[in-house]
Amino acid sequence: MGTLFVVATPIGNLEDMSPRARRVLSEVSLIAAEDTRHTGMLLKRLGIDTPMLSNHGFNERARVDRFLVALEAGDVALVSDSGTPAISDPGSILVRAAADAGHRVVPVPGPSAVTAAISGSGLVDGPFIFLGFLPRSTGERRDALDRALRAALPLVIYESGPRMPRLARELGELASDRAVVVYRELTKLHEEAIRGPAAELPGLLERAIVKGEFAVVVGAGVAGQPMGDIDALIDAGIATGMSPSSLAKSIARQTGGARSEIYEQILKRSNGQGA
């Protein structure tokens, strides 16, 4: 039975291609490629002529059986357009199917935008949450960010150039006190890193080139500390006439903060407003 090799390829710099990855791509019988045109250019530069078959988000399930047949006859390599397959890219369906069919699955590690961004950020030294690309709809994006931010762990987010200003505004609102590092075009000729507090991110991006792909690292928050503008939530609740107890319970549920601490803060702001 053949082996499925999960091969990482460069995310922008050909020199990051490992000797092992080159050898595997030249020795397998077939390459499952996210985009055969893109991978074809890489193979041409490497002097490799291994046959390819597309394996992208729109045909991955339909192609599984063809790859399983190929694995019965020999080894297959799985690649994405760049970086490590199955990380915000197609691949996991084929990997599961190959493993379930009894084939050996072997990772060939290498370039990854996630690890590159983390290692250069200085904001992560333990557990983190990888969100990949956020949903497009406003409600789903907000929910995903809210849930992740409440965990108080560092976050890694992928975003495209056209939507990066939107993400900057969202982080500025929901995580204003957190440190952020934004990488554009990692490992490529025009690589750029933007560093600062999330509250300043929209302004920082106004002076940057907002095109290409971005990897965003958001530093850790304080465990149990409410996210966003807690004072604004308190003021809004006071204005509606909610009792301090009910308001504290509501805000704690929204933010994940400690109800007793929020209650004390409500009393202080109420007294300050003469309520």
Say which CATH topology domain 114-218 has.
Answer: 3.30.950
The model's pTM is 0.79
Q: CB–CB of 78/54 below 8 Å?
A: no
Residue 31, strand partner residues: 52, 77
φ, ψ (nearest 5 deg) of residue 165: -60, -35
pLDDT score of 222: 61
Q: CB–CB of 153/127 below 8 Å?
A: yes
Cα–Cα distance, 127 to 60 (Å, whole number): 31
Cα–Cα distance, 192 to 208 (Å, whole number): 9
Task: Tell me which CATH homologous superfamily contains domain 3-111.
Answer: Tetrapyrrole methylase, N-terminal domain (3.40.1010.10)
From first to last of its 275 residues, the chain has per-residue pLDDT tens of 999 999 999 999 999 999 999 999 999 999 999 999 999 999 999 999 999 999 999 999 999 999 999 999 999 999 999 999 999 999 999 999 999 999 999 999 999 999 999 999 999 989 999 999 999 998 899 889 988 888 888 999 999 999 999 999 999 988 888 999 999 999 999 899 999 999 999 999 887 778 889 999 999 886 545 445 677 778 878 887 888 988 888 777 666 667 788 888 899 888 875 44
pLDDT score of 102: 98
pLDDT score of 274: 40
pLDDT score of 247: 86
pLDDT score of 226: 46
For the four alpha carbons of 128, 131, 133 and 134, in that order, the dihedral sign comes to negative
Q: CB–CB of 257/248 below 8 Å?
A: no
Residue 218, strand partner residues: 155, 180
Residue 160, strand partner residues: 213
The CATH 3.30.950.10 portion of the chain extends over 114-218
- As to burial, measured by CB atoms within 10 angstroms (0-12 exposed, 13-18 middle, 19+ buried), residue 32 is buried
The CATH 3.40.1010.10 portion of the chain extends over 3-111
pLDDT score of 232: 75
DSSP labels for 56-76?
-TTTHHHHHHHHHHHHHHS-E
Residue 6, strand partner residues: 78, 107
